[in-house]
Structure 1
Amino acid sequence: MDTMRERFTAVATALLDEDPRLAVVLAVISADRFTDAARAHPDRVIDVGIREQLLVGAAGGLALTGLRPIVHTFGSFLVERPFEQVKLDLVHQEVGAVLVTAGASYDISAGGRTHQSPGDVALLDTLPGWTVHVPGHPDEAEALVRHAAADGDHRVYVRLSEQSNRAPLPVPPGRFRTVRQGRSGVVVAVGPLLDATLEAVAGLDVTVLYASTVRPFDAAGLRAAAGAAERADVVLVEPYLTGTSAPFANDALMDLPHRVLALGTAREELRRYGTSREHARAHGLDAAGLRRRIGSFLAAARTGAATAGVR
């Protein structure tokens, strides 16, 4: 199976042939994968070199001329390093672009802290008007990139990962999909963490919702699932900074008694290289770690309910 990054470069190349309004803006990363596209469309495939601030600034300029820029590099170089340009050249100027990253969170763990960006979605949450897609499979990545490219002049972030679920699960953008139903709580699994989440909750009486789009947050979908359960206990399993979507979940359930457990990448820096699989385990985002924490969370609810019933 190809990776999300490989699928993206193939799809973006095809889109350049299909839509003359699209342009691809690069900062060296993946430029070798766009060689043929650059030859076919030299005015719409632009490599600015290792200048990430210019990368986003150029995209803003292209958008002002009426083009739809697709901007690509590693997450830490596309959101964190040029954040001021994202804020000013895109948001302040009220123009759209499609930002597509590779190397999500700790995928490029061997590259050290400079190549890790678990806080990217949380950082974008400080700005208005962003749609955020987190596909869990290359097929989903293709569908979401195509949707983003055709999404008018909106600002869209597509977060690609080296991690992938075994099979695609199509979900309409902006909606959560019910994978299984239960009565003891709701678990929201985001993108490439669906397989580990399903393994973790095997045998537990919980509803599992799958999200490949996290902004806008499907408040109605979460509320409906939580309202149908015996207890509005919600677990968020996200492949980026822990607690990123907790405010959105709390807002969705503000008039219901509820508890939220947010699971994601720890805020403390993990000062190790290793592999992405080892980082997932260290952050408790493998099946065993998720099982332990989700099980404890649900058990505490049962214990509390039993204690409340004692007179």
Structure 2
Amino acid sequence: MDTMRERFAAIVSRLLDEDPRLAVVLAEIGKDGFADAARAHPDRVINVGIREQLLVGVGGGLALTGMRPILHTFASFLIERPFEQIKLDFGHQGMGGVLVSAAGSYDWPAGGYTHMAPGDVALLDTLDGWTVHVPGHPDEAETLLRDAAAAGDDSVYVRLSAHANSAPRDIAPGRFLTVRKGRDGVVIAVGPMLDNVLAAVEGLDVTVLYATTVRPFDERTLRAATAAGAGAGTGAAGAGAAGTGAGTGAAADVVIVEPYLAGTSTGAVNDTLADRPHRVLGLGIPRRELRRYGTIDEHLAGQGLDPASLRERIAGFLRR
């Protein structure tokens, strides 16, 4: 299976042939994947070198001319380092583009903390109007990249990762996918966390929603899932309290498992369910820094995102 980054280079290279409005801007990282595209479209594949602020500034300038820029580098260099340029050159100027990251929260542990960006989505949340896609498989990355490239003048962030689920799902951009239904709570698995979540909740009577687009947040699907669970009246919160149970009075229990900073989307869950009783647990990367290199799997375990740790935390939350 190819990686999400390999799929990104192949798909966007083809899209450059099909759409003269597209342009790719690189900051050295990923240039080899676009070697053929650069020869075919030397005016629309631009490598600015290791200058990430310039990367975003050039993208914003291209957008001002009516182009649809696609910017790519590691997440820490694409979102964190040039954040002021994102805020001004895209947001303040009202321009749109596609930011495509790699390396995620800790995809390359040997690169150290400079190459890790667990706070990228939370940082983008301080800006208005960004769509955020978090694919969990290369096939899903292709679907979301094609959608982002064709999305008019919207601002879109596509968060690619070396961490992937074993199989793709039939996703629709902007919507959560219902993977399984249950009555004791709702667990939202974001992007590459799906496999670990499914292993963690095996045997638990919970609904699992799969999110590959987290902004805008799919309020409609979450409300429908929590209403169905509350109506059954068998949830942990509803079964143990007087006056709850079957019907709309039962509280909703929601766990969201994200491959970046823990709690990034708990506010979105709270806003979605503001008119009804609910509890929410946000699982993800804690703020403490793991200072050993290790592997992706070791970082997942160290952050409590392996199946065994997730099961303990999810089951404990639902029992309370």
**TM over 0.5, yes or no?**
yes
SS at match of 1:73: strand
For 1:209 and 1:3, the matched residues in 2 are separated by 24
- Counterpart in the other structure of 2:166: 166
Q: Deviations over 1:180-227 (max 9, x none)?
A: 000000000000010100000000000000000000001111111111
Stretches of structure 2 lacking an aligned partner (at least 5 in a row): 236-251
- Counterpart in the other structure of 2:214: 214
> In the TM superposition, what is the alpha-carbon distance from 1:108 to its structure 2 partner?
1.2
1:152 paired to 2:172? no
- Counterpart in the other structure of 1:178: 178
> In the TM superposition, what is the alpha-carbon distance from 1:170 to its structure 2 partner?
2.2
1:197 paired to 2:197? yes
> In the TM superposition, what is the alpha-carbon distance from 1:277 to its structure 2 partner?
1.0
- Counterpart in the other structure of 1:307: none
Q: Where do 1:6-85 residues align within 5 Å? A: 6-85=6-85
- Counterpart in the other structure of 2:108: 108
SS at match of 1:194: helix
1:252 paired to 2:272? yes
SS at match of 2:23: strand
SS at match of 1:165: coil
SS at match of 1:57: helix
SS at match of 2:188: strand
Question: Quick one: which amino acid aligns to residue 217 of structure 1?
Answer: F
> In the TM superposition, what is the alpha-carbon distance from 1:174 to its structure 2 partner?
1.2
- Counterpart in the other structure of 1:268: 288
1:87 paired to 2:107? no
Question: Quick one: which amino acid aligns to residue 249 of structure 1?
Answer: V
Question: Quick one: which amino acid aligns to residue 239 of structure 1?
Answer: P
> In the TM superposition, what is the alpha-carbon distance from 1:271 to its structure 2 partner?
1.3
- Counterpart in the other structure of 1:282: 302
Normalised by the size of structure 2, how large is the TM-score?
A: 0.93
Which of 250, 254, 263 lines up with 1:243 in the alignment? 263
- Counterpart in the other structure of 2:128: 128
Q: Deviations over 1:145-173 (max 9, x none)?
A: 00000000000000000011111112211
For 1:8 and 1:128, the matched residues in 2 are separated by 26
SS at match of 1:88: helix
For 1:251 and 1:9, the matched residues in 2 are separated by 37
SS at match of 2:260: strand
- Counterpart in the other structure of 2:246: none
Aligned Cα root-mean-square deviation (Å): 0.6
1:291 paired to 2:311? yes
Q: Deviations over 1:98-128 (max 9, x none)?
A: 0000111011111000000000000000000
Stretches of structure 1 lacking an aligned partner (at least 5 in a row): 301-311
Normalised by the size of structure 1, how large is the TM-score?
A: 0.96
